[in-house]
């Protein structure tokens, strides 16, 4: 029972610790609950976030990330990522993350994909693939494509070239 069994529990809380996400086996859905009382905030609709029969809730949580207290993002097993509002449960942005399982395999089964990715191989091609993934996510999900380079400077800051 190594550390990897608990790694998926790194992202259940919002940044302000007011809400947390939990999978209910009984309801077969993800629930948002208030941290202080444990009362239900809302159930995430299954067409937004669902657990596939072949994956565990830890594996899905490894591909989940809170962006702020009102939005989260996640990637499905095929590499489609979405940003979702918890106020309306509408998809605010979506993207296909290229080469999702091709760089380091299904690393999300063990490591939190957005926060603690597996160490990158030293070859240049693997590094370029990962940078391409980050660029495409920033461009399509986070709108770092403003005219006259307005947001391109921010995108440059968000890319970590030493991955």
Q: DSSP labels for 103-117?
A: SSSSGGGTS-TTTSP
pLDDT tens digits for range 83-127: 999 999 999 988 888 777 766 666 667 666 666 655 556 677 777
Contact 62, 113 (CB under 8 A): yes
Question: What are the tokens at 123?
Answer: 């070859």
Q: How far apart are CA 24 and CA 35, in angstroms?
A: 16
Q: How far apart are CA 11 and CA 22, in angstroms?
A: 10
Question: What are the tokens at 20?
Answer: 């947390």
CATH topology of domain 4-115: Lipocalin (2.40.128)
pTM of the model: 0.68
Q: How far apart are CA 158 and CA 49, in angstroms?
A: 26
pLDDT of residue 41: 94
Between 134 and 64, name the one with better pLDDT: 64
pLDDT tens digits for range 43-92: 999 989 888 888 888 888 888 888 889 999 898 888 889 999 999 999 99
Q: How far apart are CA 94 and CA 17, in angstroms?
A: 26
Segment (H or E) for 69? none
Domain range list for the chain: 4-115
Phi, psi of 41 (to 5 degrees): -85, -55
Q: How far apart are CA 76 and CA 135, in angstroms?
A: 18
Residue 75: C-alpha distances to residues 59, 67, 152 (Å): 11, 13, 23
- Other CB atoms within 10 A of residue 90 CB: 10
């Amino acid at each position: 029972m190594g550390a990897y069994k608990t790694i998926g529990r790194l992202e259940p809380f919002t940044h302000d610790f007011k809400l947390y996400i939990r999978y209910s086996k009984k309801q077969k859905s993800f629930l948002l609950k208030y941290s202080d009382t444990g009362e239900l905030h809302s159930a995430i609709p299954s067409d937004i976030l669902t657990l596939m029969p072949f994956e565990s809730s830890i594996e899905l949580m490894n591909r989940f990330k809170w962006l702020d207290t009102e939005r989260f993002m996640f990637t499905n097993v095929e590499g489609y990522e979405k940003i979702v509002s918890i106020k309306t449960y509408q998809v605010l942005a979506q993207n296909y993350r290229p080469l999702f399982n091709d760089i380091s395999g299904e690393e999300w089964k063990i490591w939190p994909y957005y926060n603690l990715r597996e160490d990158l191989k030293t070859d240049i091609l693997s590094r370029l693939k990962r940078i391409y993934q980050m660029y495409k996510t920033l461009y399509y999900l986070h709108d770092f494509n403003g005219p006259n380079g307005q947001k391109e400077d921010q995108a440059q800051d968000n890319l970590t070239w030493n991955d």
